[in-house]
Every structure is written in C-alpha cells, then in structure tokens.
C-alpha cells in the first residue's frame, strides 16, 4: 500500500470499526427497557413521552445504518464497480436522513440535557444535517456530480458527529480532566462544527475533484 493510501485506509477502517461498535450499543436498546445506558439519564416524565420514545428508537437505528451506508459511498472502487448499488444506497441514505434520522434527532434535541445551549446545539446539528443532505440530493438531480460529492462530504461530516462526540468526550475526560458539564456542552457543538470545518478544508483542497477523477 502506498503512503498516500495509508491515511484514507486508516480513516475508513476507524469508521467501519466504530459502526460495528455502535451496533453493539444499539442492540441492547431493542429490548425496550428504560434502564439502559443513555436512557438512565432521562427522567421518568421524559421517558413516558411518546414522541421521545419514537424519536429515540428511530434515531438510533437510522443513524446507525446511514453511517455504514455513507462509508461505502466514498470508496471510488466501490462506486465505479457497483454504480447501481451506489445509487440505491444513496437513495436510502438521503431518505433515511431527511425523513428519519434528522427529524427524530430534532425531537431528541428538545429533550437534551444541559439546558438551552445543548438544545440549540443539537437542533442546529439536525437542521444542518437535513439541509446538506437535501442539497446533495438536489445537485445530483441536476447531474452536478462534483457539487453533489462536495455536499455529500458535508452531510457525512455531520453524520460522523456521533463518532466525534464520543471520541471528543473520551479525550476531554481522560486527557484534559474536564468536568462532565464542560465536556458535554463542548462536544455537543464541536462534534459537528469541527467535522464541517474539516470537510470544508478537504473540499478546498480538491478532494471532491480527486474523487470524481477516480470514479470516472
């Protein structure tokens, strides 16, 4: 493997590993018991609300599979060899975010711990996620391939906020010794804002052009 491929390979492997790890976290929730991990941070009043219940289970499932689907969409060899499958998975990705993951995430944002800063942070994340995905879909409908890829990069950057949130929390707690509330409010915003900044840097450095060249 050439040196140029080492970093992309490590990046894809880390996302694949995290996606598998997340599945092991999602499965216990499917027992629909309230005394599991994240749900223990919510009051009985919140847990009893139907919109929270539906939003939570829709979100954890749809967010998991869009992360896995999105990973394959940026592998040039996969896209080039399996174009029809790429298109089908792309439609599933877009539909899942526009109608399942982002709307359900917005519902959960309304019940976020941490007060107004957390609620606003998660709400904006869902809004940006929804809009970047919608624009990506709009651009491919116009056959604007490069713009489509660039907006998909932005969309997937927000999708990966789930991974950034957990990695960022670990680093802040165990290496920076931050307090729980400081950690929580910081990663609420940084997990998706920093990801978007990284995506913009990659777009500025012509990663979209590179992917188009490889696919064609």
Which domain does 64 fall in, by range? 3-215
Q: Are 19 and 71 in contact (CB under 8 A)?
A: yes
Segment 58-97, tens digit of pLDDT: 999 999 999 999 999 999 989 999 999 999 999 999 999 9
Q: Count the domains in the chain.
A: 1
Q: How confident is the model at residue 181 (pLDDT cuts 50, 70, 90)?
A: very high
Spatial CA neighbour of 150 closest among 101, 105, 190, 199: 199
With a threshold of 0.85, does the pTM exceed it? yes
Burial code (b: 16+ CB inside 10 Å, e: under 16) for 43-76 equals eeeeeebeebbebbebbbbbbbbbbbbbbbbbbe
13 CB contacts (<8 Å, ≥6 apart)? none
């Amino acid at each position: 493997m050439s040196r140029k491929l080492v970093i992309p390979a490590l990046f894809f492997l880390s996302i694949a590993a995290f996606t598998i790890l997340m599945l092991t976290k999602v499965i216990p929730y499917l027992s629909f018991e309230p005394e599991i991990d994240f749900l223990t941070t919510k009051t009985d009043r919140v847990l009893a609300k139907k919109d929270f219940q539906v939003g939570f289970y829709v979100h954890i499932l749809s967010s998991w599979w869009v992360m896995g689907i999105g990973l394959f969409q940026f592998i040039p060899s996969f896209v080039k060899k399996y174009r029809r499958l790429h298109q089908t998975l792309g439609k599933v990705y877009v539909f899942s975010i526009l109608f399942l993951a982002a709307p359900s995430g917005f519902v959960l944002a309304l019940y976020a711990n941490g007060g107004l800063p957390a609620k606003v942070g998660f709400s904006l994340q869902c809004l940006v996620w929804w809009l970047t995905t919608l624009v990506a879909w709009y651009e491919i409908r116009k056959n604007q391939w490069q713009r489509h890829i660039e907006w998909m990069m932005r969309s997937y950057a927000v999708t990966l906020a789930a991974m950034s949130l957990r990695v960022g929390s670990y680093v802040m707690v165990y290496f920076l010794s931050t307090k729980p509330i400081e950690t929580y409010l910081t990663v609420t915003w940084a997990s998706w804002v920093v990801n978007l900044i990284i995506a913009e840097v990659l777009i500025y450095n012509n990663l979209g052009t590179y992917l188009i060249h490889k696919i064609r």
